[in-house]
Copies of this chain bind each other. A is one copy, B any other.
């Protein structure tokens, strides 16, 4: 993509109506624009990142035998009344029709999927199965000042699993833990699996929490090797400075730490809560009728994008992990001489021929400082500079005239095209 053609340019000053780092940087770098408080539009750069995250999530959910579907946002009021949540789910937007009753505007999908699944479950042979979707959710949140960390409209993956019994559910829950571990690792995030409340229906649930000062949650956690103890403050039986009991048991002494975190995912045993409400039963092997056991598993796709920015940035801009970057390479030409433009164009074409995603800053009317500042702000992993200085600097070494720099390293080096390709493929 040529930067001159790309819709959504960088902005120098911080937007006045944003307080969060993620919104400030993503708006300035041309990834998102605010529609109203808590609601954002994703420009081409932003959508590319959302799609990268979605595809990683999709891949891991498919590996865990999740079947993708796409449920409606306008939801049947009757089912929300059945679960008793029509009047108790505070963040539920209600939508009036001129011709029908009201709808719920999907903040979650149990009220849609459980009655739907019921139609497809008769015998134990129909179980287990897992269904998911990646879809816009709507929640009338009170606070909407965290950019895309907490919005009134956001992109989410929600998966629901259906089982004959607790034992089968537990096995799947462990599979999902592994899938979630993979998702966050592939996204370049260190997410701490944290014990949290299971609500009124289950002893526990697990949240995936990312440490950052921008977080709205607080967790207590242990950094002891192979320990993994972490609890949400809301249920924690420990405090900062305590010795970690789990480590003590294995003869180590570790101290509990406290941290601000962003919740990027959660996994939740639903037990028979919803199957009871909708009478979702199956005929067991012994001929008896049994309630289906359920679990649900969420990942905030757009929130994860915000969390990445909160964790991976510096004072110059965003530092995208390779797997999520909108493009792999950002070419900049410095100077408008014919030779420079020709070399830039050639490099752009050659990288495209090698199926590398490239953003090519070919602007004529932008200066060196502006171009290099934009590269740092946008945060693509590799910067390649074509300039007269680089073309003439090392005349003795044939072809080594492309300046390579990675976003998170100050060092630059002059490379030939084949050396660039070698480094990109690493």
Please give me the residue from chain B that is nearest to A141 by CB atom.
Answer: B99
> Given contacts A7-B129, A140-B97, are A36 and B103 in contact (CB under 8 A)?
yes
Indicate if the CB atoms of A70 and B96 lie closer than 8 Å.
no
Tell me, yes or no, whether A67 is within 8 Å of chain B by CB: yes
Chain A interface residue count: which class?
35 or more
Interface bits A79-121 vs B (CB < 8 Å: 1, else 0): 0000000000010011111111001010000001000110110
Provide the residues of chain B in CB contact with A257, threshold 8 Å. none
Tell which of A9, A37, A65, A70 has the most Cβ of chain B within 10 Å: A70
Tell which of A76, A97, A120, A140 has the most Cβ of chain B within 10 Å: A97
Tell me, yes or no, whether A64 is within 8 Å of chain B by CB: no
Give the residue of B47, B74, B119 whose beta carbon is less than 8 angstroms from that of A36.
B74
Provide the residues of chain B in CB contact with A140, threshold 8 Å. 97-99
> Given contacts A35-B112, A67-B7, A105-B105, are A93 and B93 in contact (CB under 8 A)?
no
Contact residues, A31-51 vs B (CB, 8 A)? 33, 35-37, 39-44, 46-47, 50
Provide the residues of chain B in CB contact with A119, threshold 8 Å. 33
> Given contacts A7-B67, A129-B7, A136-B136, are A96 and B94 in contact (CB under 8 A)?
yes
Indicate if the CB atoms of B103 and A97 lie closer than 8 Å.
no
Provide the residues of chain B in CB contact with A47, threshold 8 Å. 68-70
7 contacts between A and B (CB under 8 A): A7-B129, A33-B116, A39-B103, A41-B112, A47-B69, A94-B95, A97-B152
